[in-house]
């Protein structure tokens, strides 16, 4: 037997006996590695005469092929064995309680809803809810938008094919205002509620999404006027943004369910590409951002729910929760709210222990 044959047989035996991937790697380096004996032997071919090369080359090349094949086969076998061993070792007992530290976080929208409830509770408001699958009577008609009212078309409504037993259209509520109707019908007056929740419109870009969140506010009592509305919103925003220099602008507007109606804008400035609320929107470097609609509840709405407008009046407002969350926590694309991206949630989410309270602060971030 030639030296090469003896060396090859020894290498093949060592490969067969290797009991770990590390040992196998050491054998690969010894043979086919840059300084391995097979590679060095191959290099000697270059210095041989053509006759010598013809005589020596087949043995070296077949040694290389045999060793490479043996290494590959052994590697695959060792990997399979290792995986089998791991699978046998790492059994999971699904009946055990979770041991890892909690990884979930509270979505900024949920956090802001808790903050809203905390601030408005302090102002004497209760939290009311209503169904997301509504009928057109609560969503439109009782809010003074009859079937032919043009504002119905402006809401880009998602309709269901079926009707209710009373023959009403079924839809995904386009705003939280139907909760005003449901609350007044259930409770009468006086009333002081907020109603946070999901609403739906067929609408999508960086500041509009087909599902978004609003919070409705409703106060009905005797002698309520627009001044109460402005004070309530200003007091809320100062507590919410935790700063005193909040300036609101009430802009005349139109909603069928309020008369007069005002659009609420908040002054902000741009700092390093981030919108920071505070200051007068007309001041240098500042602008106004629309955050909601409001007004005095239309007498026709009070009549729809059986209240006497000569006795009771009130105000209502509807704010975009996602917009105020973006402003407070510095996000710039609304669509990211609903992507379910774990990295976004890890960055912008809140610890479940970070409960907003007025004494500790409604903006504390863990």
Residues that bind ligand FA5 (CB under 6 A): 175, 177, 201, 203, 208-209, 212, 214, 216, 255, 258, 290-295, 316-318, 320, 322-323, 334
Question: Rounded distance, CA 38 to CA 287, Å?
Answer: 75
Could you tell me if 248 and 232 are in contact, meaning their C-beta atoms sit under 8 angstroms apart?
no
Residue nearest to ligand FA5 (CB): 320
Size (the chain), residues: 366
User: Which two three-digit tokens encode residue 227?
Assistant: 């001044």
Question: Rounded distance, CA 295 to CA 255, Å?
Answer: 8
Nearer to ligand FA5, 240 or 255 (CB): 255
Q: HEC string of 200-267? A: ECCCCECCECCEEEEEEEEEEECCCCHHHHHHHHHHHHHHHHCCCCECEEEEEEEECCEEEEEEEEEE
Minimum distance between the CB of residue 192 and ligand FA5, rounded to whole angstroms?
Answer: 14
Minimum distance between the CB of residue 114 and ligand FA5, rounded to whole angstroms?
Answer: 19
* Nearest partner of 143 among 177, 100, 92, 107, judged by Cα: 177
Nearer to ligand FA5, 37 or 255 (CB): 255
DSSP string, 287-327: EEEEEEEEEEEPHHHHHHTT--TTT-EEEEEEEEHHHHHHH
Minimum distance between the CB of residue 120 and ligand FA5, rounded to whole angstroms?
Answer: 15
Nearer to ligand FA5, 254 or 357 (CB): 254
Nearer to ligand FA5, 31 or 157 (CB): 157
Minimum distance between the CB of residue 110 and ligand FA5, rounded to whole angstroms?
Answer: 16
User: Which two three-digit tokens encode residue 89?
Assistant: 């070792």
Nearer to ligand FA5, 118 or 290 (CB): 290
Residues 6+ apart with CB under 8 A from 300: 144
Nearer to ligand FA5, 8 or 298 (CB): 298
Minimum distance between the CB of residue 92 and ligand FA5, rounded to whole angstroms?
Answer: 42
Minimum distance between the CB of residue 91 and ligand FA5, rounded to whole angstroms?
Answer: 47
């Amino acid at each position: 037997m030639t030296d090469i044959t003896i060396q090859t047989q020894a290498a093949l035996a060592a490969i067969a006996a290797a009991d770990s991937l590390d040992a196998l790697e050491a054998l690969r380096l010894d043979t086919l590695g840059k300084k391995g004996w097979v590679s060095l032997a191959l290099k000697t071919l270059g210095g041989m005469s053509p006759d010598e090369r013809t005589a020596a080359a087949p043995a070296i090349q077949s040694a290389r092929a045999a060793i490479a094949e043996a290494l590959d086969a052994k590697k695959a076998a060792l990997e399979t064995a290792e995986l089998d061993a791991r699978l046998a070792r790492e059994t999971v007992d699904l009946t055990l309680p979770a041991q890892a530290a909690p990884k979930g976080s509270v979505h900024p929208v949920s956090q802001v809803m808790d903050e809203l409830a905390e601030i408005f509770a302090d102002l004497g408001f209760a939290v009311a809810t209503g169904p997301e699958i509504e009928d057109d009577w609560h969503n439109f008609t009782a809010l003074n938008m009859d079937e032919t009212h043009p504002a119905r078309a402006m809401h880009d409504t998602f309709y269901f094919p079926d009707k209710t037993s009373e023959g009403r259209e079924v839809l995904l509520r386009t705003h939280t205002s139907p909760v005003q109707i449901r609350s007044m019908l259930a409770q009468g007056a006086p009333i002081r509620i907020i109603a946070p929740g999901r609403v739906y419109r067929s609408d999508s870009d960086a500041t509009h999404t087909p599902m978004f969140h609003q919070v409705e506010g409703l106060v009905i009592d005797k002698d309520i006027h627009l001044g109460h509305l402005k004070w309530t919103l200003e007091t809320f925003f100062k507590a919410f943004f935790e700063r005193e220099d909040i300036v609101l602008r009430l802009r005349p507007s139109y909603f069928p369910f309020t008369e007069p109606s005002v659009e609420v804008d908040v002054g902000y400035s741009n700092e390093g590409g981030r919108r920071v609320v505070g200051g007068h929107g007309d001041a240098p470097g500042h602008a106004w951002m629309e955050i909601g609609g409001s007004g005095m509840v239309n007498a026709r709405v009070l009549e729809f729910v059986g209240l006497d407008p000569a006795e009771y009046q009130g105000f209502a407002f509807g704010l975009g929760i996602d917009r105020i969350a973006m402003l407070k926590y510095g996000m710039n694309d609304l669509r990211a709210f609903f992507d379910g991206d774990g990295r976004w949630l890890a960055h912008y989410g809140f610890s479940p222990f970070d409960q907003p309270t007025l004494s500790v602060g409604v903006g504390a971030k863990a």
